DNA sequence: TTAGATTTTGAACAATGTTCAAAATTTGCG
DNA sequence: CGCAAATTTTGAACATTGTTCAAAATCTAA
C-alpha cells in the first residue's frame, strides 16, 4: 500500500504547509488581523482547502498555540543542565519572559485568547495538554526547591501557580499595552528583577 | 436657552441608556458575543442611533471599560480607612481579586482586550487615564509601605508593577481558563494567599 | 401652520467565517 | 493506454458582523 502511505504523507505535508503560512501571517499581524482568506492566499490554496484540513478557525489557532508551547518547552529543556533548583527556577523566569517579549502575538494566543481553550473543551479528551505539561515542569521545579530547603511555610502547588501568575502578569500587562502607566523603561525586566529578588529571600 | 439645555440632557441620557443596555448584555455574554445589533435591540433603538452616540464599537467598549475602572476605584476607596499601609496593601489585593472574580467579563475587557487601548491611542490626549489613576493608587500604597520601613532593597515603582502583575496574573490565568491545569480548587484565592505571605516577609 | 433643524431609521455595503455542489485531478484496473 | 470511480480542490453563495448615509420622522420656533 505504498500509495496510501504517500497520500497520507502528502496530506500531512499540506496541513503543515497551511499551518506554516498561517504562522507567518500570524506572527506578523496578530490573532485579530489574520483571516482564513489571508491564510489561503499565503498558502496558495483556496479557502475550501483550508477547511478540508482544519475544522474551523479555532482549530488553526489551537494548532498554532500548540507550536508555541512546543517552542517554549524546548527553551525550558536547556535549563535541565542547571543543577541548583533555585537557580534553575530563576533562569526559567528569564526564559519565559524572553519568549513572551520576543513572540508577543504568540504569547497572546497562548494565554489571552479564548479560541484554543474552546477548541480543547470540545475535543473528546477535553484536557489542555499543552498547558498541563508546561505547568508540571514548573511545579516540579518548585518542588525541587522545596526539597532543597526553600519556600518553607509555602504550599508548593499554590506557590507554583503564583509564580506562573506573577511572571505571566508582568508579561501580559506589557503585551496588552497596559504597562505604559508605570513609566518604567522596561517594566517586564524590572518587574521580573523585583520578583526574583523576593523569591531569593524565601 | 432652556430648550438647548434639555436637549443636551436628553442626548446624555440616551447615551447612558445605550451604554446601560450594552453593559447588561456584556456582563452576561462577554466581549466576543455582543454585537451592535444586540445592543441596539436591547436599547430599543436602531443600529444607526447607536452610531450617533458612539463613533464605533471600540468607543462603546472603551466607555464600558471606563465604568469598570470607576467601579474598581470606588471599591479601593473604602481601603483609605485602613491605617497601616501594609494591611491596606494586602486588603487591596483581596479587593482586586474579588472584583476580578465577580466580574470576569469586565476584567477581561479592562486588561485583555485591545479595543479600549486602541481607542485611547487614537484620542487627542492619547493617555490611558483609567489605568493611570488606578496604578497611581497602587504606587502610592507601595511607597507608603516603603516609608513605613517595608520592602528594603526594592525599587518602589518596579515593585508596584510586579505586585499589580502578580495579582493580575493569577486572576487573568483563571479567567482565561488557563488555571485548570493546577488542579487547585481555588487557584486565585490560594495564589493570592501565597503572594501575601511572601510580601509579609519583606 | 409650516419651514427649517434635529433625530431616527433601516436598507445597503464590505469584510468575515463557513458550507457544499461542482470542477479538476488522481487512482486503480481492464 | 483508456476510463470510471475516488479523491482533492475550488470558488460561488450564505449568514453574520461593523459601518455608512440618504431618506423618513419628529421636533422647534416664529
Q: Which nucleotide is nearest to B46 (CA to C1')?
A: C9
Mean pLDDT across chain A: 95
Q: How many CB atoms lie within 10 A of CB A4?
A: 8
**Res. A77 pLDDT band, cuts 50 70 90:** very high
Q: What are the grid coordinates assigned to A83, written together?
A: 543543577
Distance between CA B51 and CA B196 in Å, rounded? Answer: 46
Query: Is strand C within 7 Å of residue B47 (CB)?
Result: yes
Question: Would the pLDDT of A1 be above 50?
Answer: no
Nearest to B89 by CA among B79, B101, B77: B79
Residues of A in contact with B167 (CB under 8 A): 169
Mutation site, A181, A188, A199, interface B, largest B CB count within 10 A: A181
**Could you tell me where in chain B the CATH 1.10.10.60 domains are found?**
1-54
pLDDT tens-place string over residues B80-135: 999 999 999 999 999 999 999 999 999 999 999 999 999 999 988 899 999 999 99
State the CATH class of domain A66-200. mainly alpha
Distance between CA A154 and CA A160 in Å, rounded? Answer: 10
pLDDT tens-place string over residues A78-98: 999 999 999 999 999 999 999
CATH code linked to domain A1-54: 1.10.10.60
Contact A112 B114 (CB under 8 A): no
**Could you tell me where in chain A the CATH 1.10.357.10 domains are found?**
66-200
pLDDT tens-place string over residues A144-179: 999 999 999 999 999 999 999 999 999 999 999 999
Residues whose CB falls within 8 Å of the CB of residue B80, separated by 6 or more in sequence, listed in order: none
Mutation site, A158, A163, A185, interface B, largest B CB count within 10 A: A158
Give helix B57-77 / helix B2-29 axis angle, nearest 10°: 80
Q: What are the grid coordinates assigned to B13, written together?
A: 441620557
CATH topology (fold) of B64-200: Tetracycline Repressor; domain 2 (1.10.357)
Lowest mean pLDDT among A5-14, A38-47, A63-72, B189-198: A5-14
Which pLDDT score is estimated for A44? 97
| Residue A61, min C-alpha distance to chain B (Å) | 15
Which pLDDT score is estimated for B11? 80
Per DSSP, A34 falls in state -
Which pLDDT score is estimated for B146? 97
Residues whose CB falls within 8 Å of the CB of residue A113, separated by 6 or more in sequence, listed in order: A31, A61, A65, B176
Distance A41 CA to C28 C1' (A): 33
Which pLDDT score is estimated for B201? 87
| Residue B85, min C-alpha distance to chain A (Å) | 19
Question: Would the pLDDT of B202 be above 70?
Answer: yes
pLDDT tens-place string over residues A174-193: 999 999 999 999 999 999 99
Mean pLDDT across chain B: 95
Which pLDDT score is estimated for B3? 55
DSSP string for chain B: -HHHHHHHHHHHHHHHHHHHHHHHHHHHH-GGG--HHHHHHHHTS-HHHHHHH-SSHHHHHHHHHHHHHHHHHHHHHGGGG--SHHHHHHHHHHHHHHHHHH-HHHHHHHHH-HHHHHHHHHSSS---HHHHHHHHHHHHHHHHHHHTT-STTS-HHHHHHHHHHHHHHHHHHHHTT--GGG--SSHHHHHHHHHHHHHHT-
Which pLDDT score is estimated for A7? 66
**Could you tell me where in chain B the CATH 1.10.357.10 domains are found?**
64-200
Which pLDDT score is estimated for B1? 44
Conformational region of residue A155, where left means phi above 0, alpha means psi within -120 to 50, and beta covers everything else: beta
Distance between CA B78 and CA B192 in Å, rounded? Answer: 20
Q: Compute the average pLDDT of residues A59-76.
A: 98
Which pLDDT score is estimated for A64? 98
Question: Would the pLDDT of B10 be above 80?
Answer: no
Query: Is strand D within 7 Å of residue B58 (CB)?
Result: yes
pLDDT tens-place string over residues A53-65: 999 999 999 999 9
Q: Which nucleotide is nearest to A14 (CA to C1')?
A: D8
Q: Compute the average pLDDT of residues B33-37.
A: 98
Question: Would the pLDDT of B22 be above 60?
Answer: yes
Amino acid at each position: 500500500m505504498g500509495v496510501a502511505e504517500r497520500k497520507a504523507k502528502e496530506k500531512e505535508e499540506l496541513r503543515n504547509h497551511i499551518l506554516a503560512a498561517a504562522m507567518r501571517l500570524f506572527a506578523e499581524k496578530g490573532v485579530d488581523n489574520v483571516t482564513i482568506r489571508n491564510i489561503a492566499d499565503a498558502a496558495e490554496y483556496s479557502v475550501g482547502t483550508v477547511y478540508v484540513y482544519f475544522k474551523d478557525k479555532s482549530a488553526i489557532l489551537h494548532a498554532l498555540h500548540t507550536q508555541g508551547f512546543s517552542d517554549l518547552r524546548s527553551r525550558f529543556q536547556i535549563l535541565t543542565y542547571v543543577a541548583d533548583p533555585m537557580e534553575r527556577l530563576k533562569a526559567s523566569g528569564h526564559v519565559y519572559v524572553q519568549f513572551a517579549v520576543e513572540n508577543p502575538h504568540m504569547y497572546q494566543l497562548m494565554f489571552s485568547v479564548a479560541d484554543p481553550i474552546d477548541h480543547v473543551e470540545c475535543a473528546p479528551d477535553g484536557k489542555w495538554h499543552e498547558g498541563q505539561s508546561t505547568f508540571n515542569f514548573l511545579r516540579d521545579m518548585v518542588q525541587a526547591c522545596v526539597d532543597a530547603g526553600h519556600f518553607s511555610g509555602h504550599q508548593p502547588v499554590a506557590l507554583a501557580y503564583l509564580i506562573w501568575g506573577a511572571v505571566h502578569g508582568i508579561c501580559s500587562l506589557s503585551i496588552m499595552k497596559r504597562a505604559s502607566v508605570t513609566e518604567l523603561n522596561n517594566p517586564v525586566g524590572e518587574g521580573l528583577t523585583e520578583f526574583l529578588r523576593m523569591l531569593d529571600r524565601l
